[in-house]
Structures are given as C-alpha cells and as structure tokens.
Amino acid sequence: MLGLMQDWPLLCHKIIDYAAEQHGHREIVSRSVEGPIHRINYIEARIRARKVAQALERDGIKLGDRVGTLAWNTWRHLEAWYGITGLGAVYHTLNPRLFPEQLAYIVNHAEDRMIMTDLTFVPLLEKLQEHFKTVERYIILTDKEHMPETNLPGAIAYEEWVGGCDGDFEWREFDENTACGMCYTSGTTGNPKGVLYSHRSNVLHAISVSVPNVLNLGTGDTILPVVPMFHANSWSLAFSAPMAGAALVMPGAKMDGESIYELLETERVTFTAAVPTIWMMLLQYLESSGKELPYLERVAIGGSACPRSMIEKFEVNYGVQVMHAWGMTEMSPIGSTCAMKPENRDLDLQARLDLQATQGYAPFTVEMKITDDDDVDLPWDGKTFGRLKVRGPGVSRSYFKGEGGEILDKDGFFDTGDVATIDPLGYMNITDRAKDVIKSGGEWISSIDLENLAVGHPEVAEAAVIGIHHPKWDERPLLVIVRKPGTSPTKEDILAYMDGKIASWWMPDDVAFVDEIPHTATGKIQKITLRDQFKDYRLPTSDAAE
Ligand code: ADP
C-alpha cells in the first residue's frame, strides 16, 4: 500500500522559490569582479534566474544539456546555477586552477554547449577555445560597459544577454532524479572523473547538512562561502543557504586574508566555510594586524585535515566555533562534521579540542563503515583503522559516462580512498588518504597527524609529510617545512617540539626546508609533485641501515 501524500519532486529551483517567497528581502552581497560591492535580494535573484532560463532556452539549450561555468562566487554565478537547473539543464563547474589540458579534457568530456565565465578568465578561454569541441558560445559575467574585446565565439555580456528577457518563465517540472549539476574530481591520478548530481541528491543533501548537528544554518545567519562554487558543489552552500533563509556574502575573486576579513567585518558574517589554507592566511592577517572577529560565530573547515592548533586559535583567541568537516566531490560533498554529542558535554577544553580535530560524525543520509582490504567490517573502537566506505542518496553510484567502471562494493558502498578510525560514539578520524599513508616496517604512520603536529610549532607556516624509501623499513617519514617569514627554526627545534607528542617510531627521520609546498587546484598539498621533487632524496638513517 502506498502512502497518500503529494508527489512534490525535489527540484533545486524550488529552493530559490522558497527563499524569494519566505525570505525575499535577505541579501546576496558580492564583491564583484569589476570591483564594487553589489547587493541584491532573493526576490530579485529569482527573477534574474528566470531570465537566465529564458535566455538559455532562446539559445537552444535543452533538458540535460551541460552549461559550463568558470567563475568566482558572485550573485551572477548563483543566478546562473538556478537558471540552468530551472530549465532542466546541468551546471558544470570548471575549476580555473586546473591545468589547461585538464580543463580542455573536462569541457569536451562533459560536452558543454555553452560557457559562462568571469572577466578574469577570458584570456585563458581565448587560448583554450580552439580545443573545445562542443562549446557554441560564451557568456561573459559582466555588463556592456565592462565587456572586453574578445574573439570568443558568440561572446556577449551577461547583462545584455538576459536584458531582453522579462523573467516571465515557468520553471520546468521533471523527475527529481534528473541530472542537475556536474563537478569533476581533480584527478590527482589519471584523468578527472565527472560526478553528476541530481536535483533530488542536491535537495536532500542541502536539507541534511542544514540541521544543528551539521552546519546549523538559520535565517539569522549571514553566510560567507569562501569555498568556491567550483570546489565540490560549493559544499552545498549555494542550496543550503537560501533554503535556510540566510543572507549570502560572495567573495568574488579576492580570497586573501585582508579581503576576507573586510567582508567578515563589514557584512557582519556569522558563518563561513573554506579549506585550511584560506584560514591560515586569515589567521596570519589577524595576528599581524591585531584585528578581532566580533561577529563571526562559526567556521566550517574541511577539504583537508584541519590542524588542532588552528581550531584552538579560532576558539581561544577569537571565540569562533570550528566545525571540522570531511567530504568529497562524490558525496555532494559533506560526509561528516564534528559537532558535540551530549556524551561529550563535560569535556574540558583540551579534550574537546582533541575531539574537534577528528572529522566528526555522519549526518542523516550518510551511512559509513570501515573495512579491511577483503571488505570485512572493522570495529568502531577508535583504534582500528580501515578503508572508509559510504552509502547514501547524495553519494555517487557511477562516474559520468561510466569512467572508472564499477565503483561500489557488493553492498552498494563507495570506497572513499581514505583510511580512518571510527570511535564507539561514531566520531570518524581520517588517518590518511590510502595512497599517502607511510608504510614503515609493515605498520602505518599517518602523514596527516605528523603535519598537524608540526604546524603547531609557532615558526612553521606549512608542513607536509611524505614517505621516503628506506632500506630497512621500506618507507620512513620526511617532514617538509615552510618557515614563517622572518623565522629560522632548525631541524632540531622542530623535532624537539614534536618529541613526546607522538609514538617515537612515528618521528620523522629528517626535516627539509622549502620556500613553497605545491598545492592542488582545490588548495590541498600536492603529494604527488612533492614525492617527485624528493624522489632522489636520501634519508640520513638510510646510511646507517645499509
Ligand atoms: P579534490 O581533491 O578535488 O579537492 P575532494 O574535495 O572531493 O576533491 O577531495 C576529497 C578528499 O579530501 C577526501 O577523500 C579526503 O581525503 C580529503 N579531505 C576532505 N576533508 C578532509 C578533512 N576534514 N580531513 C582530512 N581529509 C579531508
């Protein structure tokens, strides 16, 4: 027997409708790429999104067609997403930090028919466009006055393009499982693979991450997504913020410490989200300028492990609650956040910080397990680590066009490629990416734990740990350090700081100092390049072992 409730498909554009109807005067404030601060509200954004849908339809874009967006977080980018999805087309975010060949690969693989882009990326696209096989025209996210001279086919200023439309457009209705958005994984090995979100997965994911246990979003919030919309589906904020009736502050192209601080302050932001590298820059700015954060209440930090010292600084020095989050493009993307459970209510500060350095527990809609290599479930004892696997309505079941083949195990779980422990209360702790873990004498050393410890040293700006071949132990850890400007810590200083805080056999065999650590397109330490850089490195302990 079926229930007798209404069939109301979970479609993404219903989110902008809801925001316009119930929270219409809440603002979307953007630092425009042209320079000035720009303000609209959800009522205006909905009308403009409908104009986008009309303009797309006029250009022949149909249900299921992919429209690329190569753009910063601004009101225009947000409207474009809703306009695209409201027509039944698919937004495809392009990450400008990818190598040009990778960009060409994904545009062709996705078969984008159109690209919407910011002024910033016009020169890049001019160089690449001859390699794009399916792109028919380019919409430049600006107005006529700022429109550059360009030879991009069909190029037109966005404001001019939507200018002829009246916004009188009925959103299309279709099955909630219809494709809605697309984001390629950054492809640290092999070609990037396309993750294809559906309307249903985006809506369910946005609902499940808005609740108090996860991001705790509400109408009283002013949300600054520093995380770009092109990084892993904007961490859902393009959907969950309007759904919560929260105001949005979009940072545009400027993400340095001072620019972010300025927005946090002038717009009285209560919640923000980004990868640790961004917060490293903000904290450095705060420390050098002596500024405070009187309005900010919560910061979500994820994408790579958030060092305990960063959590401590935010909480103790600035009174900002850190929500350590873990996830991946394939998971829409949030898979867990570290919020407290009543069992942890009485923890003292140090114990709470230890807990917050874990990636926390899964929200409703994410099932989690750890297994050994033979797919046997491992216990949730906080000690045993294994392959972290996930299942749920916001988790990929396949990559676009079947790339990579079958990606689920026999029970329908997706292997995240991460190695983790889970404690009896469900708190998950990432040990490492499976391919980055250091295998020393048959045991594993977590590169993440060592990195997080080393950056706690007051003179260390950034730390990375890689395994270096060792004749006796197979691999041993090498700690690579970028010093803070104006400081000169030695190998001995850093090892002395780490000594006693980890098992002695985890201590790095050597410390190398560099000016810069390479990063991926999403701001993570690029271990592949680093390993390549140090491929001929010989550890001092190797000589003794031979
Ligand atoms: P990209 O590599 O393109 O940024 P993702 O954002 O999908 O792609 O990366 C997901 C991976 O990032 C996870 O599998 C995990 O290894 C890592 N990651 C994300 N958040 C965290 C976190 N809080 N702690 C440790 N690792 C994390």
Query: Domain residues of the chain, as ranges?
Result: 13-337, 438-545
Q: Which of 97, 304, 356, 431 to mutate to test the pocket of ligand 1 (most atoms within 8 A of CB)?
A: 304
CATH 3.30.70.600, applies to 13-337: no
3-state secondary structure of 213: coil
CA of 201 to the centre of ligand 1 (A): 19
Segment-wise mean pLDDT, segments of 10 residues, the chain, 546 residues = 97 98 98 98 98 98 98 98 98 93 96 98 98 98 98 98 97 97 81 95 98 97 98 96 98 97 98 95 96 98 94 98 97 98 96 97 98 94 96 98 93 96 98 90 90 94 94 94 94 95 93 94 88 92 75
CA of 34 to the centre of ligand 1 (A): 32
Measured distance CA(546)–CA(539) in Å, rounded: 12
Cβ of residue 329 lying under 6 Å from some atom of ligand 1: yes
Q: Give catalytic residues, as residue numbers.
A: 185, 330, 439, 444
Of 33, 24, 14, which is closest to residue 77 (Cα–Cα)?
A: 33
Cβ of residue 337 lying under 6 Å from some atom of ligand 1: no
Q: Which of 324, 399, 418, 452 to mutate to test the pocket of ligand 1 (most atoms within 8 A of CB)?
A: 418
DSSP state of 307: P
Cβ of residue 302 lying under 6 Å from some atom of ligand 1: yes
The pLDDT of residue 189: 61
CATH superfamily placement of domain 438-545: ANL, C-terminal domain (3.30.300.30)
Cβ of residue 16 lying under 6 Å from some atom of ligand 1: no
3-state secondary structure of 517: coil
Measured distance CA(82)–CA(404) in Å, rounded: 30
Neighbouring-strand partners of residue 183: 93, 195
Cβ of residue 185 lying under 6 Å from some atom of ligand 1: yes
What number does the ligand 1 atom closest to the CA of 522 have?
4
Measured distance CA(199)–CA(215) in Å, rounded: 21
Residue with the smallest CA separation from ligand 1 atom 3 is: 186
Q: How far is CA 80 from the centre of its chain?
A: 20
Residue with the smallest CA separation from ligand 1 atom 27 is: 304
Cβ of residue 430 lying under 6 Å from some atom of ligand 1: yes
β-sheet with 156-157: strand ranges across: 156-157, 137-140, 112-117, 66-70, 90-93, 179-184, 194-198
Cβ of residue 186 lying under 6 Å from some atom of ligand 1: yes
What number does the ligand 1 atom closest to the CA of 329 have?
7
pTM, two decimals, is: 0.93
Q: Which amino acid is at 526?
A: Q
* Helix (H) or strand (E) run with residue 467 in it: strand 460-470
Residue with the smallest CA separation from ligand 1 atom 12 is: 303
